């Protein structure tokens, strides 16, 4: 992934050779690149793991039966997914689907929060 190459270059760069403002600009660019990659991964996970089939490509549901997820706070979405996984929240479909996204909850939630 291109982000890790950028971050590695920044980490190994000799910061003594540049000014403080230049260093801040480099770190800001690295942060933006990292955020974009996390969102891209979340979108890919959301789509590839089947979430979009019911909740829509951007989190706007394809049918009134399924809730819209676009714009939900990340923490809320992560909690709901984990509750479905643990069985604390019960729905046959979502208990099965949430198990498929284990370990990817935060990336998916971050993607949905920006929609």
> Which domain, by its residues, includes 109?
2-113
The owner of tokens 């049918």 is: 63
Alpha-carbon gap, residue 92 to 89, rounded angstroms: 10
Per-residue pLDDT tens over the stretch 26-77: 554 555 444 444 456 899 999 999 999 999 999 999 899 999 999 999 999 9
CB 112 within 8 A of CB 69: yes
pLDDT classification of 107: cutoffs 50, 70, 90:
very high
The gap between the terminal CA atoms of the chain, to the nearest Å, is 23
* Overall number of domains in the chain: 1
Which CATH number do you get for residue 41?
Answer: 1.10.760.10
Q: What would the mean pLDDT of 100-109 be, rounded to a whole number?
A: 95
Predicted TM-score (pTM) above 0.85: no
């Amino acid at each position: 992934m291109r982000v890790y190459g950028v971050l590695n270059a920044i980490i190994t760069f000799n910061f003594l050779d540049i000014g403080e403002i230049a260093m801040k600009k480099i770190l800001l660019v690295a942060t933006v690149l990292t955020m974009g990659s996390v969102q891209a991964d979340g979108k890919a996970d959301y789509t590839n793991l089947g979430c979009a089939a019911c909740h829509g490509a951007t989190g706007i549901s394809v049918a009134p039966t399924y809730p819209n997820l676009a714009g939900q706070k990340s923490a809320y979405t992560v909690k709901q997914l984990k509750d479905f996984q643990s069985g604390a929240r019960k729905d046959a479909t979502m208990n099965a689907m949430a198990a498929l996204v284990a370990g990817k909850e935060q990336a998916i939630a971050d993607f949905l929060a920006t929609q």
